[in-house]
A and B are shown apart, each in its own frame.
Chain A
Amino acid sequence: DTGVSQDPRHKITKRGQNVTFRCDPISEHNRLYWYRQTLGQGPEFLTYFQNEAQLEKSRLLSDRFSAERPKGSFSTLEIQRTEQGDSAMYLCASSLTYAAGELFFGEGSRLTVL
């Protein structure tokens, strides 16, 4: 399968714990995005990378959230000191630079914070 893959698909954690999600984009895509989606809402932008450079981070994102894409391939999204309000589906997407509007989403990582 050459689509976007995310791991883990589900994560249940206790409040205050740290969690990390991994995303492997489509191999030839140089842009990688993280979105968050809650029930009844559209995907909410968190951050995106052009190769290994993080070009934008949402102002809504607290300092507890950090993302990396060290070699311009896979990316990780870490949430420190999780809160119940962090419970959501975390979606990764990738695209080609010249087709930035056409996002290819992964299946998502569902986070539940107890």
Chain B
Amino acid sequence: GQQVMQIPQYQHVQEGEDFTTYCNSSTTLSNIQWYKQRPGGHPVFLIQLVKSGEVKKQKRLTFQFGEAKKNSSLHITATQTTDVGTYFCANTNAGKSTFGDGTTLTVKP
């Protein structure tokens, strides 16, 4: 997969605030996957995006793939304490997934 960069590295929010993490690439990506890793846990697949401009929603989570397919974002509306963890984006090419270094979200009750 292609190298992907994530920002910010850390995000601290008050419960109820929104949260967004960004995933960027210098090259066009054929796909983007998003994973969540809870503290002490393993990465869990959330979603895959493949189309230019694609938007997918999972309850309070909204995933977007940029028009140029060089960036993606994950937005969480009204964060809850259960949202804490590290969110990774990844790109898969020729069977190999390349992960970003993640954005770690902490939520203060």
Contacts and interface: CB of A to CB of B under 8 A. Distances in A.
Contacts of B98: 45
A22 interface: no
Contact of B33 (A44, A50, A101, A104): A101
Chain B facing A: main interface SS: strand
A43 B99 contact: yes
Contact of B43 (A44, A48, A103): A103
B95 A43 contact: no
Interface residues of A, number: 22
A45 B101 contact: no
A42 B95 contact: no
Contacts, number: 53
A56 B96 contact: yes
Contacts of B99: 42-44
B45 to A, nearest CB: 5
Interface string B71-103: 000000000000000001010101111111110
B42 A106 contact: yes
A108 interface: yes
Interface of A: 31, 33, 40-45, 48, 50, 55-56, 91, 100-108
Given A41-B101, A106-B42, 11 more contacts: A42-B102, A43-B88, A44-B99, A45-B97, A45-B98, A56-B94, A101-B97, A103-B33, A103-B97, A105-B43, A108-B42
